[in-house]
Amino acid sequence: MTDVDILDRYQDGGQVSPWARDAIAFAITNKLLEPGDAIQPQSPITMKALRYAIGQIGMAD
């Protein structure tokens, strides 16, 4: 599966900046991010999403 395949699952996947496509696809594939229906690539990450991502890699308090 390619980055395009992963990002195309989301209504706003085409809005992910070219430089961030690999990283976002990796984060979704490895369950560091669970964006629901939309990635919201042009919005700042929420504190809740950041805590979840950190928790997924075992670094949360």
Tell me the whole-structure pTM to 2 decimals: 0.78
The pLDDT of residue 59: 61
Among 29, 58, 27, 34, smallest CA distance to 48 is for 34
Element housing 48 (H / E): helix 47-56
Note the pLDDT tens digit of each residue in 1-55.
777 789 999 999 999 999 999 999 999 998 899 898 999 999 999 999 899 888 8
Mean pLDDT of 54-61: 73
For residue 9, which phi and psi values (nearest 5 degrees)? -70, -15
Please report, for the chain, the start and end positions of each structural domain, with discontinuous segments joined by +. Answer: 3-56
| 20: Cβ contacts below 8 Å, ≥ 6 apart | 41
